[in-house]
Structure 1
């Protein structure tokens, strides 16, 4: 019983740490505290991130097609011949990742400015912006890792 208690407390502590570390999770928690409900799942893409939505989609489609073809190759020679193209795709992924990271830094700055004077209605759009940006960053990081192999 004591072991289970300690394990539960440890899990709760880890969850709290993750919530404090991640701006999106912090915002979600704050929205739930303020409104009594989690943020809406259905919403419009924030205008600031709409262009990135298109850019990420337009880049991931051909990158995924390239990776599918490349990962299906069993010949080391053919895989080696695909490295120049992989490097070109990797450069494009890294460029878009840099843009996403700038947007995340801007969103973080917006969040910092809201610390002193915020309203619950202003929190949800920022939450959704973080949600999209973090999701796209994770997708691009995954592709960058796969392209580098």
Structure 2
């Protein structure tokens, strides 16, 4: 693992701990001013900018305070070289109330991050959270059928 990958891994682990603790400053740290985030709840076209990103967290913090879990299970980081100064990471997280995790023990939150180095510092420029849906919509079924041919 490279020094950049280690640095990014530590940054993501700090972010996850801050999200679980309800620490807004910790969640916002290391995020670019022009971040784009696609989250589990609406809006479907995502949120753009640090202020909009900030506005998504208070409801999550309240949910966490009621005993929900938010912890990294696995994390992979790939960092570019000094020429590209871009990196990506993907992780699986336990995310849910104890009851939800008992009912669906295999369910994971999927996290993908796009990062860029600005002034020598790694910043999250893109963040995407998703869960699989236990039931398919008609459109999903049609897309899956196309890929299974």
| TM-score category, normalised to shorter length | under 0.3
TM-score after normalising by structure 2? 0.25
User: Taking CA–CA contacts closer than 8 Å with sequence separation of 6 or more, which of the two structures ends up with the larger relative contact order?
Assistant: 1
Structure with max Cα Rg? 1
TM-score after normalising by structure 1? 0.25
Name the structure with the higher helix share.
1
